Amino acid sequence: MPSLDRIDRAILGALQNNARLSNKELAARVGLAPSSCLTRVRKLESEGIIKGYGADLDARALGLGLQALIAVQLRLHVGEAFGSIGDHLRSLPETVAVYCLGGTTDFLVHVVCRDTEHLRILTNRSFTNRPEVSRIETSLVFSFARSGLPVDAAE
């Protein structure tokens, strides 16, 4: 695991809050010269600590007014079933996130849908008809807030 100093963590925290900061703005925030800051950002990217940059989209503005968490239990706990269903769940256009878990739930899938009819069709078509799936339980999401990783927690 790469060693991160205070400045690396400050860079990560600033970019996590606003990935659109210019290198000049970022350098000023963390107290570095722009060239040194750019070198550090490129190193964090090449080491895979910064995995990418993206836009946080408004699901409702895209016509996706319903979010749900679908807990999936598998019939058999064998490697092939986990790989097969995991690949399938990640490939669904409605999927926001897939978590493979230990415990009574094998997968927890965050999905976005237009409405309850869309959710019903999705669960029937893509979950309950799969041979690997024993049971699902769907919970509606009333609110959702994304927060960043605690970049200073490992110090």
Same domain (yes/no): 72, 38: no
Same domain (yes/no): 13, 41: yes
* Predicted TM-score (pTM) of this structure: 0.84
113: closest CA among 85, 92, 84, 134?
92
The whole-number pLDDT of residue 17 equals 92
The whole-number pLDDT of residue 83 equals 83
144: closest CA among 71, 65, 73?
65
The whole-number pLDDT of residue 56 equals 87
Same domain (yes/no): 19, 76: no
Same domain (yes/no): 103, 134: yes
User: What would the pLDDT profile of 2-16 be if each residue is shown by its tens digit?
Assistant: 789 999 999 999 999
pLDDT of 153 above 90? no
Domain hosting 28: range is 6-46
- What is the domain-level CATH number for residue 108? 3.30.70.920
In a domain, 146, yes or no: no
Number of domains making up the chain = 2
In a domain, 24, yes or no: yes
pLDDT band at 107 (very low <50, low <70, confident <90, very high): very high
